[in-house]
Structure formats: C-alpha cells, structure tokens
C-alpha cells in the first residue's frame, strides 16, 4: 500500500493512498463550510489551502436523522454541518489517459445517506473508469423553501451537487479522468437528483450522460406548496417567526434535524423533502423541461426494480396479509390524489389482478408503479423524443431474503452495480454467489459501456435498442438477462392520463 500519493488540485494539494490496485482520495472539500451566514445559501467556492490535505479518510456526513432501514446494518458515521461538503475519488492511475468519469449521487429520500455508502473500487477495476461520490446537504438544511426571504435560496442541496460537478470538471484530469466524459448516476433520491439536474440551467455542460435508477421526476413532486408546508411546520416547532432567517441560522443543526418533518411516505408527493420548482434554480418541473428539450444532448438510461415498494412492506408493522376490502381502501387513497373515483380504483385493481396473486402483491405492484416505474417510463418517453440514445431497464432479480417475500425490492440493484455483495442476504444487499456475481459483472459492464460511449451494448448482454414509443425495448436484469418489448404493458396503460 502506497500512502503518499499527492495530487495538486485547484483547491490545494491532497494526499491519497493505493489499496489493492485502486488509488483512493476521500473527504475532499469542494465548498466552504455551509454554516452561519452561509446556511440556506448556495455553496461558496472553497478557499485554497496551503498545506497537503490528508484525504485518506471519509469526512463526516451531512446532518440527518437516524435511518429506518440502514440502521440495521450500516455503521453510524459522525455528522458535521461544517465539514460535510466533500467528495471521494477512486481511480487506477494518476496519468493523462482520460478515463470515463462516473459521478455517483447517493439516495435516501433527500434526508439520509452519504457518498461513503458505496465503494467505487470494483467499478474502477472492472472498467478502468474514475468514480466520484459526494455528500450534499439534506433535509431542511438542503431543501428548505423560504420564498419570503431574499437572503435564502431554494434547492441548495442540488446546488451542492452542481458545485461538486464543477470541482470535478476542473480537477478530474489530475486523477486520470476525462472532464469531457462525465456520467451522473444515482438511485432513489439520487436518481431523482439525476433527473432534476437534466432541467437545471446551472448544471449545463457539467455532465454528458445520465443513469437514473429507481428515481425520476414524479408528476406530483417539486411542489412549492409542499415546500411551504415543511417550512411553516419547522419554524412552528422551533418557535421562530416567519421570515426570521437570522434566528433560523443560529439554531444548532441537531435541533433542526430533531424537529424536521419526517412522517410516512407521502401518497401524493412521494418524498417529504426534496427539490421544488422556483424561478431561479429550477424554473419548471423537470419532466416539462425535458419534454421541451432541456437535456437533448444528454444520453440516458433509466429504469426501476420490479418490486420497489416491498422494501417498505418489509419494515412495515402492518400484517403482510391484506383483505380485498383493505386493498380497495388503500388504492382509493392513491387514486384520490389523481382526482379519480372508486370505480377507477376497481378498474386498476382488475388490471393488476391478471398477473398478481394476492391483494398485498397487487397493492405493492401499484405503489411500485406509481412511485417508480411509471415516472421512469415518462422520463424515457420525454427524453427519447430529443435524444436517440435513451434506454430503459427493469431489474427483476428476486432476493431470497426472508424466503423471497420481498423480491426485487427498492435499492437492491445498487449492490450489483457496485459489486458490493455480502456473505449473506440482508434487505437491500444480496449474498455473493456464482449467480449474483455473474449478474453483477454484467450490470457493471452495462453501466461502464454506457459511461464510455453512450451505448450500453457489450458482448455480455443481448442487444438492446434505444427506447421508443412503438417498441419500448426494455433490458431485463434477472437470472438470465433478456430484452422485452413493453413489459407489463397492461399495467403501464392503466396509468395513461393519470401520471
């Protein structure tokens, strides 16, 4: 192991290390500490340092509440508002070979997560790429919407990501990467962020390809009204007058996190915290912007997992068994937000009943489609009108976790993309076997091939054609990888006019 690898960046010199053929730099600051007067403001350019910065350990993560799921198997990381805006880099060589850059944006509902949660080493070794991961501000500190205060900015968590992209563009050549070949990719809120970046004017020119995994621009998200609800709820709990930004900036971050709205997953808006449409940073809903060609030069892969919502079913306190009466009540809650009556709920249940065995399976499939698959399809539909290199996938490999009850749940594909398989099956992590290792390698090859050329095709998969409204070609990731045209077409059609 070489512990004395020093690179000079625009911010100053940093020291990384080499472990098992991968050179790693961790915890590199890309912006000034977002505290005091900089809280709720766009990230400020990092002031250069004169010493050699030790970049051999991850930085503290962005302030966040305890996670519901990850707490069961992930280690607790220190949190620090001042020191969280950092990025990490994995590469094989510090030369001028200009490797494709894969820029990972973590998920977690814009409230939890960090760039240290996914190790880029195996992608680097598999495809000779450079992997970057980041931290960005979360929850109220990253996505508080305060339109009545001119000294605060909306969507600063997204602006953090853009600042990290800008730092990457300026410096990645020093790490063997190509600043003119950057692919952004992310899962869940990370995929949501990827889609949002396609519509943000200040992100133009900072990336060239995009992979949105289980996260697209949901029709019912990005609402300023939801942002106002969150803001008013927070200041009420903190006892602060509306518009008193100075008082809000003096509150310890621990108290803000303690009082932030969490609650259950919102039936209408999907995420409680996240980007909102505002006139400066995000002028229009991403799907509208993309439909109008905002990302016409960006090649895209998007997709979802077959059983996304079963992740939340796995941690629910509700019984797994569900009566038909209960199913109708729960489906009515979804269709109500789309201004539909009970007869529409019954019609949709009838469609899903053709391929699903139980009321629980029907409901989980409908929630999966409402929150993930249909938004991914709408994204592909919109982008394919402007960009021929638009591709769709469906991850359907079912985990044997808890006797297979939770199938291809949300987030499960991430351990395959990064080849971070475990010695056992647990929630969103698959056990390393000959089968899972082979699937992981093929998925890595798809992601790497796309990042290199904008085309996912490679010798290890059947040929996949770009997505279009006629064929709707979809790459199916399962025990056997295949290509299907318009899978689950009746269920897709059932959402026409609704989402």
Which residues are the active-site residues? Answer: 188, 308, 410
Of 166, 162, 164, 167, the C-alpha closest to 199 is: 162
DSSP 264-300: SPBTTTB-SSS---BTTTB-S-HHHHHHTTTTTT-EE
Bridge partner list, 185: 104, 211
DSSP assignment, residue 426? Answer: B
Length of the chain: 499
Contacts of 92 (CB under 8 A, 6+ apart): 21, 22, 23, 99, 124, 125, 128, 176
CB 274 within 8 A of CB 221: yes
CA atoms of 457 and 471, how far apart (whole Å): 17
Q: Which of 243, 41, 231 is nearest to 153 (CA)?
A: 41
CA 122/CA 127 separation, integer angstroms: 8
The pair of three-digit structure tokens given for residue 496, joined into one six-digit string: 């026409």
- 8 Å CB contact between 331 and 309: no
Q: Cα dist. 338→331, 332, 333, 334 in Å?
A: 11, 10, 9, 7
Neighbours of 355 (CB within 10 A): 12
229 contacts: CB under 8 Å, gap ≥ 6: 261
The HSE-up count of residue 322 (CA atoms within 13 Å, CB side) is: 21
Distance CA 120, CA 123 (A): 6
**What is the spatial distance between Cα 352 and Cα 291, in angstroms, rounded to a whole number?**
29
Residue with tokens 């109008």: 292
Q: 210 and 101 in contact (C-beta within 8 Å)?
A: no
The three-state DSSP-derived secondary structure of 66-115 is CCCCHHHCCCCCCECCCCCCEEEEEECCCCCCCEEEEEEECCCCCCCCCH
3-state secondary structure of 26: strand
Q: How far apart, in Å, are the Cα atoms of 413 and each of 161, 162, 353, 408, 429? A: 23, 25, 26, 8, 9
């Amino acid at each position: 192991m070489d512990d004395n690898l020093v690179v000079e960046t625009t911010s100053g010199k940093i020291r990384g290390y080499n472990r098992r053929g991968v050179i790693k730099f961790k915890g590199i600051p890309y912006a000034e500490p977002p505290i005091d007067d900089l809280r709720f403001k766009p990230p400020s350019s990092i002031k250069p340092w004169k010493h050699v910065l030790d970049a051999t350990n991850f930085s503290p993560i962005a302030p966040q509440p305890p996670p519901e799921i990850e707490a069961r198997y992930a280690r607790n990381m220190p949190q620090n508002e001042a020191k969280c805006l950092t990025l990490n880099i994995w590469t094989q060589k510090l030369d001028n070979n200009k490797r494709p850059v894969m820029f990972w944006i973590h998920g977690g509902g814009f409230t939890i997560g960090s760039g240290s949660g996914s190790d880029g080493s195996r992608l680097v070794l598999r495809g000779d790429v450079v992997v970057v991961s980041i931290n960005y501000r979360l929850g109220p500190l990253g996505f508080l919407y305060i339109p009545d205060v001119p000294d605060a900015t909306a969507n600063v968590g997204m602006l953090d990501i853009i600042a990290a992209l800008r730092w990457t563009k300026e410096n990645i050549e020093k790490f063997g990467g190509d600043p003119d070949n950057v692919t952004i990719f992310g899962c869940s809120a990370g995929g949501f962020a990827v889609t949002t970046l396609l519509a943000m004017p200040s992100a133009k020119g900072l990336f060239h390809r995009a992979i949105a995994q289980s996260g697209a621009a949901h029709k019912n998200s990005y609402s300023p009204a939801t942002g106002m609800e969150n803001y008013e709820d927070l200041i009420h709990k903190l006892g602060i007058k509306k518009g008193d930004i100075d008082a809000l900036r003096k509150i310890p971050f621990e108290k803000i996190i303690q009082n932030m709205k969490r609650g259950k997953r919102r039936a209408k808006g999907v995420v409680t915290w996240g980007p909102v449409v505002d006139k400066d940073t995000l002028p229009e809903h991403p799907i509208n912007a993309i439909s109008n060609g905002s990302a016409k030069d960006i090649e895209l892969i998007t997709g979802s997992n077959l059983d996304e919502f079963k992740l939340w079913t796995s941690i629910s306190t509700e019984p797994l068994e569900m009566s038909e009466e209960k199913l109708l009540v729960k489906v009515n809650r979804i269709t109500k937000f789309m201004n539909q009556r009970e007869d529409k709920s019954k019609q949709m249940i009838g469609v899903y009943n053709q391929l699903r065995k139980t009321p629980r399976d029907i409901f989980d499939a409908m929630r999966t489609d409402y929150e993930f698959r249909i938004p991914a399809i709408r994204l592909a539909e919109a982008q394919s009108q402007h960009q021929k290199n638009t591709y769709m996938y469906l991850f359907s490999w079912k985990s044997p976790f808890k006797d297979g009850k939770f199938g291809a749940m949300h987030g499960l594909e991430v351990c395959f993309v990064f080849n971070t398989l475990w010695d056992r099956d647990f929630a969103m992590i698959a056990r390393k076997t000959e089968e899972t290792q082979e699937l992981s390698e093929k998925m890595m090859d798809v992601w790497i091939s796309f990042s290199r050329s904008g085309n996912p095709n490679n010798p290890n998969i059947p040929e996949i054609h770009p997505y279009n409204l006629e064929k709707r070609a979809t790459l199916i990731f399962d025990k056997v990888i295949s290509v299907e045209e318009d899978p689950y077409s009746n269920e897709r059609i059932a959402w026409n006019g609704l989402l």
